[in-house]
Structure 1
Amino acid sequence: MFASTSETLGSFMTRTSDTTAAAEITAEPLVDLDAVDATLRAALDAGGEWAELFAEDRESASMVLDEGRVEEMNSGRDRGVGIRVTAGEVTGYAHTSDLSAQGLADAARTAAAVATRQPRGGTVDMMSIRGVARAKPRVAVLPASVGAERKVALLRAADDAARSTHEAITQVTARYGESRRRILVANTHGVCAADDQVRTMFSVGCVASGDGGLQTGRETVGYTVGWELFDDHDPAELAERAAQRAVTKLAARPAPSGEVPVVIARGGGGVLFHEACGHGLEADLVRKGASVFADRVGEQVAAAGVTLVDDGTMGPEWGALAIDDEGHPTQRNELISDGVLTDYMWDWLRSRDEGRVPSGNGRRQSYTHLPMVRMTNTFVTNGDIDPADIIADTPWGVYVAHLGGGQVNTATGDFVFGMTESYLIEDGVITEPLREGNLIGNGPQVLLDIDALGNDFAMGSPGTCGKDGQGVPVGDGQPTLRVRALTVGGTAA
């Protein structure tokens, strides 16, 4: 997905085109390399043992159409630098939107003052910043180069398509969003890397009204691509699927209650593994003792055949990155292999303390935040069973097409997730839709209780992962799979 080159930092230049002509989009460099070098030296002169500069320029825009009217049109830009300095086990952090040489130097000295009160003085030995490894995403058309009228037209097309699907559709909300995030990361170990991240998404939510009350349906698509997202994804088709989902749920019966076999549709349950298992494999939580997977490398923690991966290189998925927010290349990290826990995810700070190599999982919400260990695209890999055979081999149970939000305790793995679309399985056949209910269980136990893995892997909808007050874009997915027993919190007697 990404091509990396080493070169002197000049302008960020992305080749883009639209339906009429090609255009070259040029942006000014975030921070001059001489200023980067001087800022890092100022941090070390002020007493730091290691220093890092993180520069960010973020642009975003969104539109919301509700009840046939454009209710929101938002855009914004945020630009600044964060300076991190360490001295022993202490970390100091300061951020600023003043990108002048003086502003950067002041931030560097402030961060160093937090890390240590004993300036070393004298000569500082560091690797001078001479060039930058820059990665460019393959973006055909920058969304910002497309006029607002074309974006509104997509929203209206989705609204029309949803309402024409069925007379029961009483409300439609369509959303469009775009973002471009350019970053530069440099530190006193010689890392100097840049990335240009573009994301585009579209979402349609529908409400259907009937004798059984109100039911909802939603479809969302989003990738690390530009306006070409709509070459492969028609907003009208998304709207029709969302509307049909809402209408189908009007005939839903109460979900069963109690422990039942559960089949989770491909891509529809990746959030369960992200929340209930993935967070427990982040090295910062492991070191705090806040993970059920702590000190279990080499142990069987999942059923044979289950492999769990976090992969930041998985373009063009929502969590794809060329580098993490510490300047390290992302990579494919196999966390559980054939049921055996093999490794955790690492950022620079935790890997330094453990004598490890960063795994490309140091991420932050913005330049105002410190990085921490975060997932990128987290998923269960393919099995070898035809998904139709999994259904046919389930005499009775629940088929979950989509999971919604939920809660999880990372220390124990206990979770509760909402089932936003589910069906009853009877005699090996998917039958009636079920009203929304909860799926209750324990992440590590789910891993052990997977007894069938399909061969139809798919990623799910784009998501935002929250942790310690920070949100970052992530992806998740899995093939169709069956868990031999999960508790369904339904209302059926």
Structure 2
Amino acid sequence: MLDNQIAKEVIDYAMLRGADFAEIFIDRQTFESISIKSSKVDNIENGINFGIGIRLFYGTKVLYGYTNSKKKEDLLDIVSSLSAKDLRDPITTATNFNFEKINQAHFVQTGLKNNISLDQKIPLLMAIDEMTRKQTDKITQVPIGTTQRMQEIEIFNSEGLHITDERNYIRLRASCIASDGTIQDSAGYSPGAMLGWEFILGQDPKYISEKMAKEVLTKLKAKPCPAGKMPVVIDNGFGGVIFHEACGHLLETTSVAKKASVFWDKKGEQIASSVVSAVDDGTNQNYWGSINIDDEGMATQKTQLIKDGILTNFMADRMGAQKTGHPRTGSARRESYKYAPTSRMRNTYIEAGNDKFEDMISSIDHGIYCAQMGGGSVSPGTGEFNFSVIEGYEIKNGKIGDAVKGATLIGTGPDTLTKVSMVADNLDFAAGVCGSISGGVNTTVGQPALKVDEILVGGGK
């Protein structure tokens, strides 16, 4: 996407101005979105975003700028502006690029490069709408949408790296709103993958409609949740959002380098129950949070974060590794050319255990079963969290009881990890978007069902 000679001249100019490291990131993103509302096509959008980001290192100081121009003069101007206050004697005066061909691990049939017609796409979305409305007359609205994106990147750096990659992502966002005349509630289903439209074709409208209708009708008849400290079972899949938010961010060198994480000096120590092992893996085939290479051009990998309760590793980008001494893990990510990369999660999950879900429930006299977790707030430094339970049930005498509403889980990630006593064998995953200082990136969260022996539950009205 960028002429090699122009890239060479820009990199060499940065090094002549005394930079320790220089990098060019070229980013072209093509997108298409479809939305259905009131059983009609509400909106269709498509477009292209293109830009180039330039990053310079002076010691541990990072300088970053970007432009929508490919002209050599504009790129040189960015280097000149960035380096104006940090001029030094040149480190080197010549960079020779060695093009590196990646191993494309995520095969796509119907991405935007070989797109299919809207006439082939819309009927499946309409089928979800129709089947959902047929579930109950309490359903008043069924918003549905898809977003498909292809990102093409090219990276040059002063170490001679020249590498390209193509990433295809797609996500379905289905939801329904229901009312019983006095109370209104909603339910949703939002899977995503590193695939093309074939992922949407693989979805079952009947399953989606029944799942959403069951959830929303359950919420309408739910009673207020009891409050207090009690044992809790957090179900698989999106239940992993608590580990992602309250613990995962504490294991990124973005926070570790600043000693803003309670785990910054705990490598090799017991930080969780011995039944807890956790991973951040960029290699899972066609997962929503997967990548071939990170946004610094390093091949991604599977990173064992916690093993049998012991903190074994952190997630590190280039500067994070330079500041902390922890090895790079192929975790440097950014939303687009507008952001410098930082250490970020990819597919982050607690690994499957040996316990059975039924045994967890039967071991509790009185507690809460969190079938689906929602959003919440987290303190970045301590992992203190407050997460809503969007579908919950009372556990009484070892059995799942009435649905409850208004439940929140309140605690800290580090403390909660030590109170996990059972880990089920039903590992599952869910798609999400994680926001941090390098923008919003696709991430997968996951876990099997977990039993936490004690956590503070906030009740509802």
Is the Cα–Cα contact under 8 Å of residues 177 and 200 in structure 1 kept in the other structure? yes
Partner deviation per Cα, 1:443-469 (whole Å, 9 max, x = no partner): 111100001010111112x11111137
2:12 is aligned, of 28, 32, 41, to 41
- Please say if 1:486 is aligned against 2:455: yes
1:471 is aligned, of 431, 440, 445, to 440
Say if 1:491 and 1:89 are closer, same or farther in 2 by CA, change over 3 A: closer
Alignment partner of 2:364: what SS? coil
Say if 1:469 and 1:86 are closer, same or farther in 2 by CA, change over 3 A: closer
Say if 1:46 and 1:66 are closer, same or farther in 2 by CA, change over 3 A: same
- Please say if 1:80 is aligned against 2:80: no
Q: Distance in 2 between matches of 1:383 and 1:458?
A: 12
Alignment partner of 2:454: what SS? strand
Is the Cα–Cα contact under 8 Å of residues 380 and 478 in structure 1 kept in the other structure? yes
Aligned to 1:57: 28
Matches for 1:440-479 after TM superposition, within 5 Å: 440-460=410-430, 462-468=431-437, 470-479=439-448
Matches for 1:189-338 after TM superposition, within 5 Å: 189-210=159-180, 213-338=183-308
- Please say if 1:166 is aligned against 2:161: no
Larger mean Cα displacement after TM superposition, 354-363 or 267-276: 354-363
Partner deviation per Cα, 1:282-334 (whole Å, 9 max, x = no partner): 11211212111121112111001211111111122111001111111111111
Larger mean Cα displacement after TM superposition, 468-477 or 478-487: 468-477
Q: Distance in 2 between matches of 1:341 and 1:146?
A: 46
| Letter in structure 2 aligned against 1:479 | P
Say if 1:32 and 1:134 are closer, same or farther in 2 by CA, change over 3 A: farther
Partner deviation per Cα, 1:30-82 (whole Å, 9 max, x = no partner): 22333322221121123322101111100112122122232222222111111
- Please say if 1:390 is aligned against 2:378: no
User: 1:212 deviation in Å?
Assistant: 5.7
Q: Distance in 1 between matches of 2:39 and 2:201?
A: 24
Larger mean Cα displacement after TM superposition, 132-141 or 469-478: 132-141
Is the Cα–Cα contact under 8 Å of residues 409 and 455 in structure 2 kept in the other structure? yes
Matches for 1:73-222 after TM superposition, within 5 Å: 73-113=44-84, 116-118=86-88, 120=89, 124-126=93-95, 128-136=96-104, 137-143=106-112, 145-210=115-180, 213-222=183-192
User: 1:233 deviation in Å?
Assistant: 1.4
Aligned to 1:6: none
Alignment partner of 1:241: what SS? helix
Partner deviation per Cα, 1:157-183 (whole Å, 9 max, x = no partner): 111011011111111111111000011
Q: Distance in 1 between matches of 2:325 and 2:399?
A: 52
User: 1:474 deviation in Å?
Assistant: 0.4
Q: Distance in 2 between matches of 1:266 and 1:162?
A: 24
Q: Distance in 2 between matches of 1:183 and 1:406?
A: 33
| Letter in structure 2 aligned against 1:104 | L
Aligned to 1:412: 382
Is the Cα–Cα contact under 8 Å of residues 23 and 54 in structure 2 kept in the other structure? yes
Say if 1:433 and 1:101 are closer, same or farther in 2 by CA, change over 3 A: same
RMSD: 1.8
Q: Distance in 2 between matches of 1:430 and 1:143?
A: 45
1:435 is aligned, of 405, 424, 427, to 405
Query: Which ranges of 4 or more aligned residues in structure 1 deviate by more than 4 Å?
Result: none
Task: Give TM-score scaled by structure 1 length.
Answer: 0.89
Say if 1:290 and 1:356 are closer, same or farther in 2 by CA, change over 3 A: closer
Is the Cα–Cα contact under 8 Å of residues 424 and 434 in structure 1 kept in the other structure? yes
| Letter in structure 1 aligned against 2:99 | G
Q: Distance in 2 between matches of 1:121 and 1:478?
A: 50
Is the Cα–Cα contact under 8 Å of residues 456 and 479 in structure 1 kept in the other structure? yes
Q: Distance in 1 between matches of 2:349 and 2:368?
A: 22
Q: Where does structure 2 lack aligned partners over 5 or more consecutive residues?
A: none
User: 1:122 deviation in Å?
Assistant: 9.0
Say if 1:420 and 1:458 are closer, same or farther in 2 by CA, change over 3 A: same
Alignment partner of 2:64: what SS? strand
Task: Give TM-score scaled by structure 2 length.
Answer: 0.95
Say if 1:355 and 1:439 are closer, same or farther in 2 by CA, change over 3 A: closer
| Letter in structure 2 aligned against 1:155 | L
Q: Distance in 2 between matches of 1:193 and 1:307?
A: 33
Q: Distance in 2 between matches of 1:159 and 1:102?
A: 52
Is the Cα–Cα contact under 8 Å of residues 202 and 220 in structure 1 kept in the other structure? yes
Say if 1:356 and 1:413 are closer, same or farther in 2 by CA, change over 3 A: closer
Percentage identity across paired residues of the two chains = 33
Q: Distance in 1 between matches of 2:290 and 2:70?
A: 28
Query: How many correspondences in the alignment?
Result: 459
Say if 1:125 and 1:143 are closer, same or farther in 2 by CA, change over 3 A: closer
Say if 1:486 and 1:106 are closer, same or farther in 2 by CA, change over 3 A: same
Is the Cα–Cα contact under 8 Å of residues 169 and 247 in structure 1 kept in the other structure? no
Alignment partner of 2:441: what SS? strand
Q: Where does structure 1 lack aligned partners over 5 or more consecutive residues?
A: 1-29
User: 1:125 deviation in Å?
Assistant: 4.7
